[in-house]
Amino acid sequence: MDLLKNLNDNQKEAVLHTDGPLLILAGAGSGKTRVITHRIAHLIANGVKPYHIFAVTFTNKAAEEMRNRVMSIVGPQGSSVFVKTFHSAAVYILRRFGEDIGLTRNFTIYDGGDQEDVIKRILISMRLDPKKVKPSMISSKISEIKDKEAYLEGVDVNSLLPDNYSFNFSEIFSQYQQKMAENNALDFNDLLCKTVDLVRKSPSALAEMQRMWRYFMIDEYQDTNYSQYLIAKYLSSATKNICVVGDDDQSIYSWRGADIRNILNFEKDYDTTKVITLEENYRSTKQILDAAHSIIKHNETRKEKDIKAFRGDGEPLTWCKTNNEYGEGEFVVNTIVSLKSKENFKNHDFAVFYRTNAQSRIFEDFLRRERLPYRIIGGQKFYERKEIKDILAYLKFLVNPADSIALFRIINTPARGIGKASQDRISEIAKEQNISEWKVIQDELMTGRVPKGLDDFRKIIDKLLKETVQIPSRIKLSAFMKNLVDVTGYRESLREENTMESNSRIDNIDELINSIFDYEQSEPDATPEQFIQDIALYTSEQNPEENPDEKTDCITLMTVHNAKGLEFPVVFLTGMEEGTIPHKFSLDTEQGIEEERRLCYVGITRAMDRIYLTNAELRRSYAGPENKMPSRFIDEMPWEFINRVSYVSQGYGGGESSFRSSYSNNENRQYVANRTGNPVQSQSQSQFQSKPKESYLDELFAEKKIESDESGSKFSVKESIMHPKFGTGRIVSIEGTGDNIKLTISFGVTRRVFMEKYTPLQKLN
């Protein structure tokens, strides 16, 4: 049988074991996804209908990849396999059966930001200062409670609530729950909890789901929380055909309620469980695996496993100590440049990992400077931008006019003269008469001084509400949204502002409309409700128009958390410092340290051929510069596994001279000359304290950019200039000499190349 051809014995066994509970303990790089997809294909080949198969993973990216890989094996019928994330599966279930537990079909999903808006309003109504009692802290507490086993098992909520606060947490919690119900909204936790509620309270819904789905596959099982555990258990209880896949060493979400006991106790839960262990690693070289193992074996609470390297020895791990985060950025980018030229690596072969999103900026700056294309996974998300949230709030509100958070977001955006005072009065009237805020506006129930803009707002919304019901049958969603941006005056107000920022906001809105257009192509029958729900859960990609098929050859930047499940030929695991990895908030407990260690393990085991660990001895944060010790995890590796290197950037922190923000793209901060008045050299110097083993490293930093002095240019890198046509700009790089000097100049986000000889540039300093 063709399906089994490229599988090892254990993998084959996992694919062939189709009925009854199956636990696959799959170490990093052991071909886990391959087993899952082949198992699905095998089921289908043996007569199981694709729509009887239910498979969930953790991220949209992983789900998408799984679906594509299944389809590449079994063809178009693979599209009827139910492959989703837990949260999107819950949305599907609740949309279909939620009425059984009193939900309406058009409920709204609140993300973390919306949640905090709700909490903030509650705090203010309780006369608490949102600056002292932080909404983010309350929301994470609420979330923590909803993750708890006790909460789902019906233990009195009051006994779960923290009572050692100076304020009344229990009151906040109950108001929050009430407000969510009023707004017809569910938060991320509710999606799972309500699904549990549904399968428990509605036997008919459960029975129908059990008829619909007969084979279950749960990926990343070590990261499931209690509600996810229950959902899997209830749904699969009729057939017991449940296959879970996981690796206790890669459990990195305990802070979000993931309970490692789910995987450790699986055998107890299902007494006929078959256990298969996949220990052959096909991804990484032996050197990489040995280094990773030497770290993870320091964890006390884990199952020891013997991961075998299928590939050969390879290159040793490189640890580079750098003086500060600029040195770190330079080292990473220089290494990429060098590896590309010497070993034919492509951009998409490289990934840069970091612990916190804030660390990405420096790498971005250096990559931009070298004009290397990159993409960021996660981070500042497209859908979290103000203008996108504003526009989507309009749509959210139109779909669910009970959503008061959305209403108050849009009522005075753009400014219509409906200020805080008016908004408060609307709320009051709504409360008195026990009706929704929108009803107050719609029926013109406001007494006393009514702001003129309110009438405009009412008319705009009334008209849009009538149109909304005609989507998608008579009006296309993309056309509707395009019109919405105009008739609400949103576009016009940005256009009037006419700043760099407002123009880029307009671009983002256009991009949103483009992405809606794309969405329409794949989901022509989608209602606005569906669209809203899809994007509420779809947050993994920063940029909606970026194709997932990676046609563009980019370097990837992301947090280690986001890297789980992925692999790259060359990986940089940066910020290997005490306080960063392990993070300073995790240092208090042994469990915290162990999770950080697993994080480190996940990072290293993403690498196929090369892995670089870097640390900065001085790192700047908002609190000022901090001295950092190398991470304890580096010490946990034997010396012979490590190729030690160090790199010093000339930027700040070198002792002499002032701090130079050489690579900031902030146009206001230009350090064109140092104290002696000489042009700043853009090229930093490197020093190796020990000799690198790899020859390419010897030459790595010998490459010199042509400096202005050498080229004979009148200008120097980073100097500000005035161009007669393009206005003020900044020299990014200088190439060539004499009559052949080419200047690359950035004007805001756009860049242009000029021949110095022919271009009348004016110096600006």
Partner DNA sequence: CTCACGCTCTTTTTT
Partner DNA sequence: AGAGCGTGAG
Rg (CA), the chain: 28
Which range of residues in 70-78, 129-137, 267-275, 709-717 is near DNA by CB under 7 A?
129-137
The catalytic residue among 12, 32, 302, 505 is 32
Nearer to DNA, 124 or 207 (CB): 124
Contact with DNA (CB under 7 A): which of 294, 539, 683, 728?
539
Contact with DNA (CB under 7 A): which of 1, 2, 76, 131?
131
Distance CA 152, CA 145 (A): 9
User: Rounded to the nearest 5 degrees, what angle is found at the Cα of 233, between the Cα atoms of 52 and 226?
Assistant: 130
The catalytic residue among 33, 423, 530, 744 is 33
Confirm or reject binding of residue 759 to DNA (CB under 7 A): no
Confirm or reject binding of residue 669 to DNA (CB under 7 A): yes
- Nearest distance from C-beta of residue 459 to DNA, angstroms: 17
710 is catalytic: no
Where does residue 130 rank: exposed (0-12), middle (13-18), buried (19+ CB within 10 A)? middle
Q: How many CB atoms lie within 10 A of CB 656?
A: 7
The catalytic residue among 84, 606, 610, 718 is 606
Count residues contacting DNA (CB under 7 A)?
50
Question: Three-state DSSP class for 277?
Answer: strand
Distance CA 153, CA 243 (A): 25
Confirm or reject binding of residue 60 to DNA (CB under 7 A): yes
* 724-729: long-range contacts, CB 8 A cutoff, minimum separation 24: 724/760, 726/752, 728/667, 728/764
Confirm or reject binding of residue 422 to DNA (CB under 7 A): yes
Q: Which of residues 508-537 bind DNA (CB under 7 A)?
A: 537
- Nearest distance from C-beta of residue 285 to DNA, angstroms: 27
606 is catalytic: yes
Q: Which of residues 551-580 bind DNA (CB under 7 A)?
A: 558-559, 561-562
Beta bridge partners of 420: none
Confirm or reject binding of residue 415 to DNA (CB under 7 A): yes
Confirm or reject binding of residue 85 to DNA (CB under 7 A): yes
Nearest Cα to Cα of residue 544 among 505, 579, 575, 513? 513
Distance CA 461, CA 433 (A): 22
- Strand spans (E) along 114-206: 185-187
Contact with DNA (CB under 7 A): which of 27, 401, 451, 528?
451
Where does residue 202 rank: exposed (0-12), middle (13-18), buried (19+ CB within 10 A)? middle
Nearest Cα to Cα of residue 204 among 307, 85, 100? 100
Confirm or reject binding of residue 418 to DNA (CB under 7 A): yes
* 580-589: long-range contacts, CB 8 A cutoff, minimum separation 24: 580/355, 580/356, 580/359, 580/619, 580/628, 580/631, 581/355, 581/631, 581/633, 582/631, 582/632, 582/633, 583/355, 583/356
Cα separations (Å) of 336 from 363, 429, 440, 534? 12, 62, 60, 36
Contact with DNA (CB under 7 A): which of 146, 214, 302, 416?
416
Nearer to DNA, 354 or 438 (CB): 354
Nearer to DNA, 30 or 580 (CB): 580
Amino acid identity of residue 106, one-letter, is N
Confirm or reject binding of residue 421 to DNA (CB under 7 A): yes
Q: What's the longest Cα–Cα distance across the chain?
A: 83
**Residue 66 backbone zone (phi > 0: left; psi -120 to 50: alpha; other: beta):** alpha
Confirm or reject binding of residue 375 to DNA (CB under 7 A): no
The catalytic residue among 11, 85, 228, 250 is 250
65 is catalytic: no
Q: Which of residues 98-127 bind DNA (CB under 7 A)?
A: 111-112
Which range of residues in 251-259, 263-271, 288-296, 328-336 is near DNA by CB under 7 A?
251-259
Distance CA 414, CA 418 (A): 10
Which range of residues in 24-32, 230-238, 325-333, 662-670 is near DNA by CB under 7 A?
662-670
For tokens 């809606």, name the residue. 516
Q: Which of residues 612-631 bind DNA (CB under 7 A)?
A: 621-623
Is the torsion defined by CA of 283, 284, 290, 296 positive or negative?
negative
Nearer to DNA, 386 or 431 (CB): 386
220 is catalytic: yes
476 is catalytic: no
Nearer to DNA, 109 or 604 (CB): 109
| Residues found near DNA in the complex (CB under 7 A) | 58-60, 85-88, 111-112, 131, 134, 136, 140, 188, 252, 255-256, 355-358, 378, 386, 412, 415-422, 451, 537, 539-540, 558-559, 561-562, 583, 585-586, 621-623, 661, 664, 666, 669
Catalytic residues: 32-33, 219-220, 250, 606
